Structure 1
Amino acid sequence: MRYLTAGESHGPQLTTIIEGVPAQLELVAEDINGDLARRQGGYGRGRRMQIEKDRVQILSGVRHGKTTGAPIALVVENKDWTHWTKIMGAEPLSEEEEADVKRKLTRPRPGHADLNGAIKYGHRDMRNVLERSSARETTVRVAAGAVAKKILHTFGIKVGGHVLEIGGVKAENTSYSSIEDLQERSEASQVRCLDEQASERMIAAIDQAKSDGDSIGGVVEVVVEGVPIGLGSHVQYDRKLDAKIAAAVMSINAFKGVEIGIGFEAASKPGSQVHDEIIWDEEKGYTRRTNNLGGFEGGMTNGMPIVVRGVMKPIPTLYKPLQSVDIETKEVFAASIERSDSCAVPAAAVVAEAVVAWEVANVLLETFGQDRVEAIQATIDRHNEDARSF
């Protein structure tokens, strides 16, 4: 599968076109709208979420509730576009109109793409960079990820995400009995954290950051259960599924680190406490006694749950902004202020679910076929039986 996204933060709409989704997959708008609503939630979101009520339109590739195998076009309208039609419109402006256009950006924000993108593309108004580099783009990445989740769910693979840390407050009680338990408890928390006491401290940390005109980041975790053995490959670097997932998580706006399984903790432990002992029984086949490696060995899934964590830095737009330089006058100023969140970590957990789900679904179809659902299911069933009796 593949997809592209298009659209600006304050443009008329966000669009994605997905190619390679198998035919006969049951898919309706509500399969996607649920995750769009989850992305907009979470404690610490800003005023923009009160304006936008993200709902998807499926414009192609689905007929009467089932995919046809043709490209799927998904659109999410920006309700705030009505206030930005002249500022963000596609039509050329007269000199008088151009002089009247407000919100020109010449003061880059530290930590954002503003200055680098302006230099790269030659923009004197850095809004041309800001609008596309905004995390608003993740709206349709979540939409594409929701389609991927639907594919995975169809074949018995489940995805869940939660928050491990916000602003230095770490969750301690993060155990869960099943992926459904993880999903239910994380959704019940305003910060998507399984630890109720830590959730309260995270909310207090977000309130303090907002009061200070500051922002805070954190750590999210995504878990994928029911994955067949052997997705990915050891034979080339660009076919390793764990590498693809790491790249996908790092592509999320403001993410600065990724680890799989115990990740960096493995550096301080002996091999006897890192590698997962292999066990076998007639019902389950080959499994592992532990899951320190997060479901991967040699770039391939080993049948254990995939466990991925990502680190999100604090959002760079601050209401007490850092020092910057005006690109027109070269004078020192406080950086520009755009409407923003004080913390988007709970929302980022939903985006992380989406990009991980996409990579797993993509390799699943690459391995077992992508024409139609029933043929793929039969191939997966044969593979799983072969793996059990190997």
Structure 2
Amino acid sequence: MNNETMILEGIKVLDVASFIAGPVATTVMADFGAKVIKLEPPAGDGYRKLTELAGMPEAEEPYHMLVDNRSKRGLCLDLTMEAGREVLHCLVKDTDVLVTNYMPEVREKLGLRYEDLAAVNPRLIYGSMSAYGEAGPEAGQTGFDTTAYWARSGLMDLVRPDPDGNPARSMPGQGDHPTGLALFSAILLALLRRERTGKGSMVHSSLLANGYWANAYMAQAALCGAAVPLRPRRELAVNALSNYYKSKDGRWLMLTAANEGKEWTRLPAALGRHDLMEDPRFATLETRQENAEALTAILDEVIGGQDVDYWRNAFREHRVTAGFVSRTEDIYGDEQAIQSGAVVPGAVAGLGANYIIDSPLWVEGSPKQAPLPAPEQGEHTLEILVEAGYDEAGIANLRAHGAFGSDF
């Protein structure tokens, strides 16, 4: 890390959100130096227990909290109690950004709406995350990335192995993480606007909007009146040069010929099949598409004759665009991920991993915060209250009036 101040140093953030999409917006802010407080109710963020569900990876450390809530401090408040809301308003007076994904009726009950908090701090940037948006017949409906981002956007229907296959399920957080970055971007725009005008504002994003953005190529085609085709079976692909193939050792690779004319001049040499260049069935783009099934069968046979490392070297040598289908565990020791900064060492020992997934954006010349532990529920409550001006008697009074729940 260099000696330059982090971009968001001095920015104070209240994360009053749960699960992933809302909290990761503030996690990225913490990565760039913001001071983030994660406010949880006495019952805690339900996300803490997600890894207890059947089928989730098992590890000694809470890996999900580390990636999505690192470098924050923890505060426990019961916002159903007047004393809890008193503390919230005290903190909001000196807060730059507040993020929440609570349901509209819950925000109203807790005094957590934008209009409630803007009255306390007109310069506040209020980030609202929702499943389906701020308006419309489904505004206020519950949803997760599996439902509002993945299923609703058409991605779940389109990303299946063939027309007869079942719709494909998404991975945990697959839509939440990019959606959180969208909210992060909106917050930064609002901070810039505030710098110019002095005014706070409400910004928002939704899983639905980001799902359609992820599927924008096909969704816009549908909006323009096109029929959106499902992918054929792999063996019947309409373009053999944009297809996936299995190597001798059982690993898969993906050819992607966005510029097919250029890629075709390189592929036969990489395959050791110069004769394909002379085959009239594959002489032009049109004939290659007409004979895509035959070319796919040839590529199946050739690629299936060598291990994946052979093809990795051959395609690199001949500058053929190919992706090698990794298993998630391959990230361990991935030098490209390490050297490019996709994963970074933690700031302290004992995080449970040598490397942590970093937020995927950088500003050259400006440092980022090396990951610190995610807070335990309410871990820094007393520390935060003292900083806010509460003395021992004041904290005791808050406790007596239920500000922290019954177990604090």
User: Normalising to structure 2: TM-score of the pair?
Assistant: 0.26
Structure ranking higher in strand proportion: 1
Larger Rg: 2
